[in-house]
Structures are given as C-alpha cells and as structure tokens.
Amino acid sequence: MDRKKTGWVLFFAACVTIVISSSVTIAEEQEIPKKFLVPPPPFSPGIFPCSQCHQGMPVDRTPRKLEQMHQDIVLKHMPGGWCFDCHNPNNRDKLRLANGKLVSFEESYNLCGQCHGTILREWKAGLHGKRTGMWNGEKQYRLCVHCHWPHDPRFKPIKPLPPPVRPTDIK
C-alpha cells in the first residue's frame, strides 16, 4: 500500500516538474529568441567603433549640452532624457538597457522595445516596418534605426509624388 502511494506521489511530482520547467522554457523562448535578419546599423562613416575615441576617455555623467563633439545631435526623444539613458558610459560600443544589461548596436531593437513594447511585438511578427525580401521565405527586417533616427525619430513630412492626370486632360 505504501509503495503504491509513494509511486503515485513521485509520478505527480514528476508531472509537476515537467510542466513547470517546460512552461519556464516556453516563457524563456518568448524573450529574445532569435536573431532577426537585419542589415548592419546605419552608422555615419567612421563613427563606429565608438571606443576608438572613447577608450580611456574620462566619463562625465552630467547631463549637459555637448560642445566639443556630437554637438549636432539634439535629442528630441524622451523629454527630460539624455545620452546615457541609452548609451553605455563604460563601453560606448554597446547600448545599455534599463536593467543594466548590455546590447549590441546590431540588436538595438531590444533597447527601443523597452518603451515601445507593443511596436517591438509587432515588429517581430512582421507587422511593423517596411517589408522587403521573400514573403514565403527569408523576410528582410530592418533595425528601428534604419527608419527612425533615434535622436529625433519622428518622420519628417516629405514631398508627395505628382497627383494623377485628370480625365479631362487625357487627350
């Protein structure tokens, strides 16, 4: 009688362990599972790697208007924020998430996704962003920064292409 009961207890324990661990695995799979096929980040020529200048440079964490370098970057994103909200002060070749984790520039979407989570979710599903590539094969993704300049991401209005010819003007 006891052995049978022990057998059942062990069986149920095994079931619970399997279920929980697999759900944990599934949950983990939903985090940052795969790499997306993206072109390289659109750096200005010669600007990367940042460490070529910043290696050994003292770090000044005071939020201020930059004067000597990068003064052309005026942040129009995240009111009240400044450079080190996204850039990693200790290693400029990486970006830093809010929880301290570092991400490379090739995976900068994880940084943007911290605030723009719904957009990130849709981007992963293929619903957000420009589509090129093969609809039934390798889809070409783009980094957020390929379309949205992170320092001033709002799209500027562009000149529209000409309107169609009116039917009265078709001779």
Partner 1 sequence: MGNLIKNFFIALRQIFIGNRTYYLWVAFLSFFILLGLSAYIDQLHRGLITTAMRDQVSWGLYISNFTFLVGVAAAAVLLVVPAYLYNFKPIKEIVLFGELLAVTAITMCILFILVDMGQPMRVWHILPFIGAMHFPASLLAWDVVVLNGYLFINAIIAFYVLYRLSIGKEYSMSVIGPLIILSIPWAVSIHTVTAFLYNGLSARPFWNASILAPRFLASAFCSGPAIMLILFQIIRNRSEVEIDNRAIFKIAELIAYAMGINLFLLGAEVFKEFYSGSIHSYPITYLYFGLHGKTSLVPWMWAATLFNITAFFFFLFPKTRENFTTLNLGCLFIIMGVYIEKGMGLVVPGFVPDTLGEIYEYSPTTSEILVTMGIWATGALLYTLLLKFAIPIYTGKLRFETKGRAGMRMSTN
Partner 2 sequence: MKKVNKTRAGIQLDRRTFLKGAALGLAGTALPLNKADASFWEAFFQKHFQELNETEIKSVLQRLEKEYEQKYKKAITVGNEKPLPGVLFGYGLDLSRCIGCRRCVYACVDENNQSKDPQIHWITVLRFKKGEKWVDLEESEKYYNPSLVPESEYFYMPVQCQQCENPPCVRACPTQATWKEPDGIVVVDYNWCIGCRYCMAACPYGARHFNWTEPSRSPDEINPMTHYLGNRPRYKGVVEKCTFCIQRTRNGRYPACVEACPVGARKFGNLLDPNSEIRYAIEHKRVFRLKEDLNTLPKFYYFFAYGV
Footprint (CB under 8 A) of partner 1, residues 152-171: 167-168, 170-171
Element (H, E) at 54: helix 51-54
Residues 6 or more apart whose CB falls under 8 angstroms from that of 103 comprise 94, 95, 96, 97, 110, 111
CA distance 150 to 37: 20
Smallest separation, CB 38 to partner 2 (Å): 14
Q: Does 39 bind partner 2 (CB under 8 A)?
A: no
CA distance 159 to 86: 32
From the list partner 1, partner 2, none, which binds 117 (C-beta under 5 to 8 Å, kind-based)? Answer: none
Token pair of 82 as six digits: 């400044």
Q: Which is nearer to partner 1, 45 or 162 (CB)?
A: 162
Smallest separation, CB 157 to partner 1 (Å): 24
Smallest separation, CB 171 to partner 1 (Å): 7
Q: Which is nearer to partner 2, 33 or 135 (CB)?
A: 135
Q: Does 137 bind partner 2 (CB under 8 A)?
A: yes
Element (H, E) at 82: none
CA distance 49 to 52: 6
Q: Which is nearer to partner 2, 5 or 159 (CB)?
A: 159
| The binder of partner 2 chosen from 147, 152, 153, 154 (CB under 8 A) | 147
Q: How many residues bind partner 1 (CB under 8 A)?
A: 4
Smallest separation, CB 166 to partner 1 (Å): 8
Smallest separation, CB 160 to partner 1 (Å): 18
Strand-pairing partners, residue 140, are: 132
Number of Cβ atoms within 10 Å of the Cβ of 24: 10
CA dihedral sign, ordered 14, 20, 22, 25:
negative
Binding site for partner 1 (CB under 8 A): 167-168, 170-171
